[in-house]
A = this chain, B = another copy of it.
Amino acid sequence: MAEELNERSQNILEAIVEDYISSAEPVGSRAITKRHSFNLSPASVRNVMSDLEEMGFLCSPHTSAGRVPTEKGFHYYIDSLLQVRDLSKEEETRLRQNYRFQGMKMEDIMQEVGRVMSGLSNYTGLVMAPKFASTVFRQIEFVRLSHGRLLVIYVSETGLVQNKVIEGVPDLSSHELEQISNYLNHELTGLSIQDVREKIARELQTERSNYDRLQKQALSLSSTALQDEAGDLIFVSGTSLMLEQPEFSTPDQMKRIIKTLESKSTLIELLDQSQTAQGVQIFIGSQSQHVEIEGCSLVTSSFSNKKGAIGTLGVIGPVRMPYSEVIPIVDFTAQLVSRILEREAE
- A interface residues, Cβ below 8 angstroms from B: 102-105, 138-139, 141, 143, 145-147, 149, 151, 153, 155, 159, 161, 163-167, 178, 238-240, 243-244, 249-251, 254-255, 258-259, 262, 343-346
A126 to chain B, nearest CB (A): 15
Among B103, B147, B163, B240, point to the contact of A161 (Cβ < 8 A).
Answer: B163
Copies of this polypeptide in the complex: 2
A343–B149 Cα gap in the complex (Å)?
A: 10
Among B102, B141, B153, B240, point to the contact of A258 (Cβ < 8 A).
Answer: B240
Residue of chain B at shortest CB distance from A144: B139
Query: In the bound complex, do residue B103 and residue A165 qualify as a contact, i.e. CB atoms below 8 Å apart?
Result: yes
Residue of chain B at shortest CB distance from A255: B243
Query: Cβ of A155: which chain B residues have Cβ within 8 Å of it?
Result: 143, 151
Beyond contacts A141-B141, A151-B155: 17 other A-B pairs, Cβ-Cβ < 8 A, are A102-B167, A103-B164, A103-B165, A105-B151, A138-B143, A145-B344, A145-B346, A146-B346, A159-B165, A178-B178, A240-B255, A243-B254, A243-B255, A243-B258, A254-B255, A254-B258, A258-B258
Q: A139-B143, A159-B165 are in contact. Are A262 and B239 (CB under 8 A)?
A: yes
A259–B241 Cα gap in the complex (Å)?
A: 9
A167 to chain B, nearest CB (A): 5
Residue of chain B at shortest CB distance from A343: B146
A132 to chain B, nearest CB (A): 14
A68 to chain B, nearest CB (A): 21
Query: In the bound complex, do residue B255 and residue A244 qualify as a contact, i.e. CB atoms below 8 Å apart?
Result: yes
22 contacts between A and B (CB under 8 A): A103-B164, A105-B165, A138-B143, A145-B159, A145-B346, A146-B343, A146-B344, A147-B346, A151-B155, A153-B153, A159-B165, A161-B163, A178-B178, A239-B258, A240-B259, A243-B251, A243-B254, A243-B258, A250-B251, A254-B254, A254-B258, A258-B258
